[in-house]
Structure 1
Amino acid sequence: MSSTTALPLTYGDVIHTPVHFDDLDAMGVLHNSRYAVLVERAVGKWWAARGVTFTGGRPTSPDAFNVVREYGITFHVPVTTIGDIAVHFWLEKLGTTSADYRFRVTSPDGAVVHADGRRVNVRLDPATMRPVPWTDHARGIAQPLLKP
């Protein structure tokens, strides 16, 4: 695994999220599947703070009904401790029905990049389960996440 230098934050956002003891595998490192969970929690927390979430099993906004279409990750330096890590994420592109996220999982200060990757979400119509356009409301909320 190679070491990657952290980039200064000039776009997107950073959400700190905890790594728990049971997130570590038998070797004492963060299990590879847990990175996706940490990214999901960070992105979900960001949108929930802006009113786009689920309450009582129902979306609070039509844009909350979306699914992950693609997910890719490259690992650089293992996470070997419990406690907070940082997830820096941004939108590379917001398409008609898709949102192309990029992310970095870093140490809390951003100095060590543990992993980076890409995640594409697609907004769905809950009745047909087919892609539908993001609302203007979501597009406005997402503006700060768009990479210049």
Structure 2
Amino acid sequence: MTRTPASRRDDYPVFRRLQTRWMDNDQYGHMNNAVHYALFDTAVNGWLIEEGLLAETGAEAYFLVAETGCHYHSELAFPGWVDAGLRIAHLGTTSAVYHIGLFAEGSGTAAADGRFVHVHVVRGTHRPMPIPEAARQVLARLFPAA
């Protein structure tokens, strides 16, 4: 099996700094693999909140997680900071595919690389709905520099 190479800091246009917690470590002294997914969710949704794209409770439509995945490259642990790099890998009519790199403080190579798919859906039916143009323009800021 061929290993996927770790991403680099310069692969990402936006970063969010996240602090590890005591409870993140497992019995082996490093971050439990499930915590990486919580960090992906926190990084993406924190950015969406800052950009005004996270729907209010009663909104007609919102982004729903349809898929996640992770490639682990090296350990992360408490205590420490994690820099979560964000980029859009694909922006479709109704969905956005994010790539998230989790970097230990000061590291140029990702300790983990994630894939996070959001589908824009109608509340109640969960049927896909086109992403509004204003939201698409904001999401486009996460495209990596050419």
TM-score range (shorter-chain normalised) is 0.7 to 0.9
Match of 1:86 among 83, 86, 97: 83
Q: Is the 8 A contact 2:98 2:116 kept in 1?
A: yes
Indicate yes or no: 2:49 matched with 1:52. Answer: no
Q: Is the 8 A contact 1:6 1:110 kept in 2?
A: no
Instruction: From the superposition, tell whether residues 54 and 103 of structure 1 become closer, same or farther in structure 2 (CA, over 3 Å).
Output: same
What TM-score results when the alignment is normalised by the length of structure 1? 0.85
Quote the residue 2:117 is aligned against.
Answer: 120
Moved over 6 A (4+): none
Structure 2 residue runs without a partner (length 5+): none
Counterpart amino acid of 1:45? G
Q: CA deviation at 1:109?
A: 2.6
Counterpart amino acid of 1:70? E
Aligned-pair identity in percent equals 25
Instruction: From the superposition, tell whether residues 138 and 54 of structure 1 become closer, same or farther in structure 2 (CA, over 3 Å).
Output: closer
Instruction: From the superposition, tell whether residues 8 and 96 of structure 1 become closer, same or farther in structure 2 (CA, over 3 Å).
Output: same
Q: CA deviation at 1:146?
A: 1.6
CA RMSD of aligned residues (A): 2.1
SS of alignment partner, residue 34 of structure 1: helix
What TM-score results when the alignment is normalised by the length of structure 2? 0.86
Q: CA deviation at 1:127?
A: 2.9
Number of aligned positions between the proteins:
142
Structure 1 residue runs without a partner (length 5+): none
